[in-house]
Amino acid sequence: MEMLDIKPGFIRLKLKVPPVSIGFRTAKTAVGVSISVLVSQLLQLQYFSSAGILTLLCIQKSRKQSIKAAVSRFFACFIGMFFSSAVFWIFGFFPYSFLVLLLLFIPLCVRLRIQEGIASSSVIVMHVYMHKKPELSFFVNEFFVIAIGLGVALVINAYMPSIDKQLNQCKAEVDRLLRTILHEIAAYLKDGNTQWDGKELLQLSDALTKSKSLALLDAENSILFKSDSYFDYFEKKKQQYDILDRMLPNVSRITVQMEQGERIGEFLLLLSAYLSSQDHKNSLYEELRKIREYHKLLPMPQTRTEFENRASLFVVANELELYIKSI
């Protein structure tokens, strides 16, 4: 917000309004509510607008979440309708009856694990209170209101845009960051390069968090053909991130350049070239085994510094073996 002086004694405020974007879920909700109200009104149902409210509450981020919401709301609405009818019949159609109703109904929903439907069932409970006549025609009317509201939400939410493009972009970004980290560690072991600030490690952590959330959403949208390939992929990358995070303190303890360190550095470059290749897993194991066998043939360290550096390299090699297993 900016203040602009127009003339003495007057100030005009200039407001900067950010652009408003309409998301896909918002558009689906608007369409679904409109269809629910239209269908209910065409069928001349009482309280037809409530079908739109049920649709509004039921459209979720994924198909799985939408089905779960619809099921919990369906049972909560029906239990609420008959339960409230009994409570109002016993205690009368008075405001204090809600005290008894909610004290009993909410714990019941929690017990049945349908607490997600408490808000939706409250709409139906209000219909019971306003109608004041628990009769068959009223219950049939409410059934259609519930069925239309939840049914339209399920139909609308059945279509979910593919997020494969986003997931593939995430895969490429995660692999790029892993490759960069391996190259930087290799440069340190081979040439003693200490210019790296480690920012890619933080970026990798953020990228993995975002990627796993998207992969979980993709899995929840795959109801009939369940596929966890993306989620499994990013879970493996998370394991690799954890290994590198554990390995870096030992790398930083290596204070002198050694032939053994250069060999490990060369291996890291090879590993970065076959980052996700299952076909080269055995050859990577074999290459690392050769390096470790070579280290065993070397003379014992002569100084404490050499001993500590070789011990750190030994730990790094152990971590690299775990890294290969995670590919």
Question: Which tens digits make up the pLDDT trace of 97-142?
Answer: 999 999 999 999 999 999 999 999 999 999 999 998 888 999 999 9
Per-residue buried b or exposed e for 135-167, using 16+ beta carbons within 10 Å of the residue's own CB: eeebeebbebbbebbbbbbbebbeebeebeeeb
Pick from 301, 171, 185: which is nearest to 238 by CA? 171
User: Has residue 292 got a pLDDT over 90?
Assistant: no
Pick from 326, 203, 320: which is nearest to 251 by CA? 320
Bridge partners (DSSP) listed for residue 10: 7
Same domain? For 204 and 237 the reply is yes
Same domain? For 181 and 113 the reply is no
Same domain? For 240 and 273 the reply is yes
**For residues 299-311, average pLDDT:** 86
Domain assignment present for residue 299? The answer is yes
Residue 71 CA to residue 73 CA, distance in Å, equals 5
pLDDT tens, position by position, 131-147: 988 889 999 999 999 99
Q: Please compute Rg for the chain using Cα positions.
A: 31
Same domain? For 270 and 306 the reply is yes
Same domain? For 108 and 237 the reply is no
Bridge partners (DSSP) listed for residue 2: 14
User: Has residue 301 got a pLDDT over 70?
Assistant: yes
Domain boundary among 97, 123, 157: 157
Domain boundary among 136, 157, 178: 157
Pick from 119, 145, 117, 118: which is nearest to 131 by CA? 145
Structural domain boundaries, residue 96: 24-157
Same domain? For 300 and 202 the reply is yes
Pick from 248, 243, 245, 237: which is nearest to 207 by CA? 237
How confident is the model at residue 257, as a pLDDT?
A: 79
∠ Cα 224 226 231 (to 5°)? 155
Per-residue buried b or exposed e for 256-270, using 16+ beta carbons within 10 Å of the residue's own CB: eeeebbebbbebbeb
Q: Which ranges of 92-163 would DSSP assign to H, the alpha helix?
A: 97-111, 118-131, 136-157
Domain assignment present for residue 5? The answer is no
How confident is the model at residue 224, as a pLDDT?
A: 63
Q: How many CB atoms lie within 10 A of CB 249?
A: 10
Q: What confidence tier does 258 reach under pLDDT thresholds 50, 70, 90?
A: confident
Same domain? For 250 and 131 the reply is no
Same domain? For 250 and 296 the reply is yes
Domain assignment present for residue 15? The answer is no
Same domain? For 119 and 185 the reply is no
User: Has residue 85 got a pLDDT over 70?
Assistant: yes
Domain assignment present for residue 234? The answer is yes
Same domain? For 286 and 149 the reply is no
Using DSSP's 3-state secondary structure scheme, residue 11 falls into: strand
Same domain? For 96 and 223 the reply is no
**Type of residue found at 132:** K
Counting Cβ atoms within 10 Å, is residue 295 exposed (0-12), middle (13-18) or buried (19+)? middle
User: What's the CATH code of the domain at 226?
Assistant: 1.20.120.940
Domain count, the chain: 2
How confident is the model at residue 44, as a pLDDT?
A: 93
Domain assignment present for residue 19? The answer is no
Strand 2-7 to strand 10-14: parallel, antiparallel, or no bridges (unpaired)?
antiparallel
User: Has residue 158 got a pLDDT over 70?
Assistant: yes
**Tokens 């009856």, residue?**
97
- Tokens in use for 137? 């025609």
Residue 102 CA to residue 122 CA, distance in Å, equals 10
Domain assignment present for residue 308? The answer is yes
* DSSP 8-state symbol, 115: G
In percent, how much of the chain has pLDDT > 90?
A: 56
pLDDT tens, position by position, 191-237: 877 788 889 999 999 999 999 999 988 888 876 665 668 888 999 99
Domain assignment present for residue 107? The answer is yes
Same domain? For 233 and 317 the reply is yes
* Phi, psi (deg, nearest 5) at residue 31: -65, -45
Q: What confidence tier does 12 reach under pLDDT thresholds 50, 70, 90?
A: low
Domain assignment present for residue 14? The answer is no
Domain boundary among 157, 187, 217: 157
